[in-house]
Structure 1
Amino acid sequence: MGEDITTPSFSREHRQRYREKVRRCLDVFEEMLSTHHFEHAPSRTGLEIELNLVDSDHQPTMKNAEVLREIADPAFQTELGRYNIELNVPPAELPGDAVLELEEKLRQDLNHAEERASRHGAAIAMIGILPTLRPEHLTGDWMSPNPRYRALEDAVFAARREDLDLDISGAEPLRMTTGTIAPESACTSVQLHLQVSPTDFAAHWNAAQLLAGPQLALGANSPYLFGHQLWAETRTELFLQATDTRSPELRNQGVRPPVYFGDGWITSIFDLFEENVQYFPALLPECTDEDPEAELAAGRTPQLGELRLHNGTVYRWNRPIYDVVDGEPHLRVENRVLPAGPTVVDTLANAAFYYGALEMLAQDERPVWTRISFAAAHSNFTAGARDGVEAQFYWPGYGDVPWDELVLRHLLPLAAEGLARRGVAASVVDRYLPIIEARCKWRRNGAWWQTETVTALERSGLDRPAALAEMLRLYLTGMHANEPVHTWQIPD
């Protein structure tokens, strides 16, 4: 959920001081970019996986504090809801066969966490939205005890001055009103990080925006919310609506929401941070004691805490990151498009596809984004989330094209070439990219399997709640088997 805070509430003076400090940080950041203050180490990748906790009946269980104490591993952290936890994977370089070792390590870590969770009657579910979650689960003491979460909820409703309306289309449209941000906790994601140099950042961010639609068609895994079948990747629309600080009038005026695809292609990472300052009011205006100008003048690396905190409350699907590790500053593209699950091997196949295709699109001498409007890229994103395996995209040179054809004919070969260019071993490519190919040929992803399975279970006589619980039971079996989701069977 981003940077932690220590101040539970904020005055008008807090906000004024914070706004001034953010602008000072932005000026220092601009100077750092222009004077080449950034680390030029080999590009590294990172991974975060958000997880759900369920009980023996496959319902959410609010036990993350107990489970985290039992796991006793700093790689596992709290998340917004008491039924959520997060697994953080340390940064690593892509070359060689390190990804194969990562697959084994992730499975070991999740197995260890599962065993420890079982001591508290809980099991771990790696899925985009927990299908058994109901509104009644999100009443009472649902929020993790972190000051940031409570302050964020207070800030959202202070800005709106009215309850949130959820209105999501789909086969079974959902309309409801909520007085909390609790529905946001339903959104469990995978975040892929890539460290890049300042000169390469814009190309990588633009390329990541282009890939967002295909990523969703390939990886959609969130078709159910509160018992309703909605989008293939309902998580994206839910996240947008469950954190919306705008009243209907402000939406009608075109004010930007905190969850944000973007407005246009960029030429520098500075464009995004400047946009943060110009258009997004502070939700968590906590100031540090750092004097960023003095730090830079003294030859030290400024933390730019206010700039980073503010950036953490603008939820772009591809987010710019400024960070400092061991006194060295660096930049990352954080890709937040994908849902969690269904398996570790599916997750790493998604990552391999993304990193490989991103490499080639970002290095193209005639970039694709010079031949496609930003609105078309946004439309592709929405189509991938809404339609999943039925999505159609617009792509230069192909026109209107089904997602599977675009991936098979164009993006998958690019991904293979990009991974080879990054020095990734052939054994890694041969392990993961055939999974992407098979999903395209079979037109199957996690959302497809979930909806087909629930339909079959309902035909057998189960009502919707029982079908969702049984589907989740079967899902967890497949998750632990670590066989790709396109090979999972549909019950008779």
Structure 2
Amino acid sequence: AAMREQKGGDFELHITGVDELIATHDSIVFEACNTSFQMHLQLEPEDAVDQYNWAQLIAGPVLAATANSPLLFGKELWSETRIALFQQSIDVRNSSTLLREQHPRVTFGTRWLRQDVSEVLREDVVRFDLLLSAELDARTSMQVLDEGGIPALEALSLHNGTVYRWNRLCYGTGGDAPHIRIECRYVPSGPTILDEMANMALWTGLMCGMRDEHRLLWAKMPFRQAKANFFRAALSGPETKLNWFGRLWDTRELLERELLPLAEEGLRNVGTDRSDIRHYLGVIRQRLSTHTGSQWLTHAARALKQGYQKDITLRRATALMHTNAATGTPVGEWDPAHPDQLTGHELKLERVYQVMSTDLFTVRPEDLVDLAQRIMEWRAVHHVPVEDHRGALVGMVVMEDLTRELGSGDGPSERTVKEVMRTVLTIMGPNDAISDMPADFGPSGCIPVVHEGRLVGIVSKVDLERLGG
């Protein structure tokens, strides 16, 4: 509620990939689509600045190797769509900020750290309004120190928890000692536990493998190169190119030649068993030679479509993913998805939305009949829904009616759709039961699906019969 009040309206999504997703909602419910595999690492105070900067630099290649979220609501978007989704789902900015520089609460950051970690904490206090408040210890931090205690910095921690940096610095206390830790928040979960452990080995190894040459990054490369790497990786995964200290690398080559050996070195530095290093980093190497989770799922959604509607395709892909994940085999070893791998039990269809087509071609009442006729001929269908400028269904043009009304005349007709459309229609809602559909679909061979007065889909007799309905 506090975020919506600050935004002054609904939250909006507009994510463009192979497909395009545009949606609005009056709450931050879209954020619930995000599931990450967070990794935390405590930092030595004297190394914290350099280690945080290093974490920012490796974020791009690590994200490319771990991407696993290419689809949202059936739309093929980014290789790691969570990155765009999380920022937009809780973005409290609005169009009135166009002329004023304002930053999203979900952020990669704007610059390297130079002196100490308080730089990023101060920036968050300065840039972002308070969203939450709580009853706090009345004593100041200095009073707690004077009394021999360890300050909890509750106000800072509470505010820090409402600023969602992909690499977030946090202050904490544990075991009667304060610490600074970094939270790596951009890595996705899944698709198997072994994949998650391998991702952790890669990131932890790189963090622990930072060399002296990786210090003082602010003097060696622009911050925007690291930021650009991150978003290129989110968009295209390992299929992109990344800038690494002035050289443009193929992402797979960068990981295999530079970063995986460095991760191996880092894991050895902290005493990790050599067999574990080979095992977990081997999962990453295998993934780079075949496919990431994102690449596998993208291929699956395409290969399993076979003319089915979106919901059915997603059910098939999800069922196959679940079957593969249950074996514990990492995603890099999964066979590419193929219809022959399906059992047929995936199509447990009960609701209309599961079988309706949402890729619709419509006309307006004032359009000429010739347009409706051409659409039906070009799309090889016997019907065209008619909707008004608000998207409300107002009728249906049926080929049988056009043939009867217009005959076989070759000349263009001046008649409008409104004159020939049917206005008495059988309609259903997206959540209605498929079993409640009428046996007779009528001359149009279809049933419009309407939600809150708007046309949202079409169920055709042909599609239903192909599914065994």
Q: What TM-score, normalized to structure 2?
A: 0.69
> Which residue number corresponds to residue 309 of structure 2?
463
Deviation at 1:340, TM superposition (A): 0.6
1:321 lines up with 2:167 in the alignment: no
Distance 1:293 1:186, change over 3 A: same
Deviation at 1:327, TM superposition (A): 2.7
> Which residue number corresponds to residue 393 of structure 1?
242
Cα distance in 2, alignment partners of residues 363 and 348 from structure 1: 27
1:490 lines up with 2:339 in the alignment: no
Deviation at 1:375, TM superposition (A): 0.5
Which residue, 318, 337, 340 being the options, matches 1:472? 318
Q: What SS class does the counterpart of residue 364 from structure 1 fall into? A: helix
> Which residue number corresponds to residue 185 of structure 1?
32
Q: What SS class does the counterpart of residue 166 from structure 1 fall into? A: strand
Structure 1 segment 340-355 matched on structure 2, within 5 A: 340-355=189-204
Q: Say whether the 8 Å CA contact 2:50–2:217 is kept in structure 1.
A: no
Q: What SS class does the counterpart of residue 188 from structure 1 fall into? A: coil
Structure 1 segment 222-237 matched on structure 2, within 5 A: 222-237=69-84
Distance 1:489 1:419, change over 3 A: same
Which AA in structure 2 matches 1:347? E
Deviation string 1:68-107 (CA, Å, 9 cap, x unpaired) is xxxxxxxxxxxxxxxxxxxxxxxxxxxxxxxxxxxxxxxx
Deviation at 1:219, TM superposition (A): 0.8
Q: What SS class does the counterpart of residue 38 from structure 2 fall into? A: strand
1:411 lines up with 2:259 in the alignment: yes
1:303 lines up with 2:152 in the alignment: yes
> Which residue number corresponds to residue 265 of structure 1?
112
Structure 1 segment 311-460 matched on structure 2, within 5 A: 311-361=160-210, 363-364=212-213, 367-396=216-245, 399-442=247-290, 444-459=291-306
Distance 1:251 1:419, change over 3 A: farther
> Which residue number corresponds to residue 242 of structure 1?
89
Deviation at 1:250, TM superposition (A): 2.1
Q: What SS class does the counterpart of residue 190 from structure 1 fall into? A: coil
Deviation at 1:367, TM superposition (A): 4.9
Deviation string 1:37-80 (CA, Å, 9 cap, x unpaired) is xxxxxxxxxxxxxxxxxxxxxxxxxxxxxxxxxxxxxxxxxxxx
Q: Say whether the 8 Å CA contact 1:163–1:177 is kept in structure 2.
A: yes
Higher relative contact order (CA 8 A, sep 6+): 1
Q: Say whether the 8 Å CA contact 1:207–1:369 is kept in structure 2.
A: no
Which residue, 143, 161, 165 being the options, matches 2:12? 165
Deviation at 1:362, TM superposition (A): 5.6
Deviation at 1:369, TM superposition (A): 5.0
> Which residue number corresponds to residue 141 of structure 1?
none
> Which residue number corresponds to residue 145 of structure 1?
none
Cα distance in 1, alignment partners of residues 266 and 32 from structure 2: 35
Deviation string 1:99-158 (CA, Å, 9 cap, x unpaired) is xxxxxxxxxxxxxxxxxxxxxxxxxxxxxxxxxxxxxxxxxxxxxxxxxxxxxxx11111
* Seq. identity, %: 37
Q: Say whether the 8 Å CA contact 1:368–1:396 is kept in structure 2.
A: no
Q: Say whether the 8 Å CA contact 1:282–1:310 is kept in structure 2.
A: yes
Q: What SS class does the counterpart of residue 418 from structure 1 fall into? A: helix
Cα distance in 1, alignment partners of residues 277 and 218 from structure 2: 26
Which residue, 78, 83, 103 being the options, matches 1:256? 103
Q: What SS class does the counterpart of residue 305 from structure 2 fall into? A: helix
Distance 1:252 1:488, change over 3 A: farther
Cα distance in 1, alignment partners of residues 6 and 205 from structure 2: 41
Deviation at 1:348, TM superposition (A): 0.9
Q: What SS class does the counterpart of residue 137 from structure 2 fall into? A: coil
Q: What SS class does the counterpart of residue 361 from structure 1 fall into? A: coil
Distance 1:290 1:428, change over 3 A: farther
Tell me how many residue pairs correspond in the alignment.
336
Structure 1 segment 284-299 matched on structure 2, within 5 A: 284-291=132-139, 292-299=141-148
Q: Which runs of 5+ in 2 are unaligned?
A: 339-469
> Which residue number corresponds to residue 364 of structure 2?
none
Deviation at 1:294, TM superposition (A): 1.3
Q: Say whether the 8 Å CA contact 1:210–1:369 is kept in structure 2.
A: no
Q: Which has the larger radius of gyration?
A: 2
> Which residue number corresponds to residue 279 of structure 1?
127
Q: Say whether the 8 Å CA contact 2:152–2:172 is kept in structure 1.
A: yes
Deviation at 1:185, TM superposition (A): 0.5
Which residue, 217, 232, 241 being the options, matches 2:64? 217
Q: Say whether the 8 Å CA contact 2:113–2:218 is kept in structure 1.
A: no
Deviation at 1:365, TM superposition (A): 6.0
Q: Say whether the 8 Å CA contact 2:41–2:182 is kept in structure 1.
A: yes
> Which residue number corresponds to residue 374 of structure 2?
none
Deviation at 1:326, TM superposition (A): 3.5
Which AA in structure 1 matches 2:13? L
Distance 1:326 1:290, change over 3 A: farther
Cα distance in 2, alignment partners of residues 175 and 405 from structure 1: 35
Deviation string 1:327-385 (CA, Å, 9 cap, x unpaired) is 32111011001011111111111111111112223643655553221111010000000
Cα distance in 1, alignment partners of residues 120 and 4 from structure 2: 25
Cα distance in 2, alignment partners of residues 367 and 489 from structure 1: 44
Cα distance in 2, alignment partners of residues 156 and 478 from structure 1: 39
Cα distance in 1, alignment partners of residues 37 and 19 from structure 2: 26
Distance 1:483 1:252, change over 3 A: farther
Which AA in structure 2 matches 1:418? G
Which AA in structure 1 matches 2:12? D
Q: Say whether the 8 Å CA contact 1:391–1:402 is kept in structure 2.
A: yes
Cα distance in 2, alignment partners of residues 184 and 221 from structure 1: 16
> Which residue number corresponds to residue 48 of structure 2?
201
> Which residue number corresponds to residue 84 of structure 1?
none
Cα distance in 1, alignment partners of residues 60 and 166 from structure 2: 11
Deviation string 1:173-225 (CA, Å, 9 cap, x unpaired) is 11112111000010100110001121111111111111111111111111111
* Structure with more helix by fraction: 1
Distance 1:395 1:431, change over 3 A: same
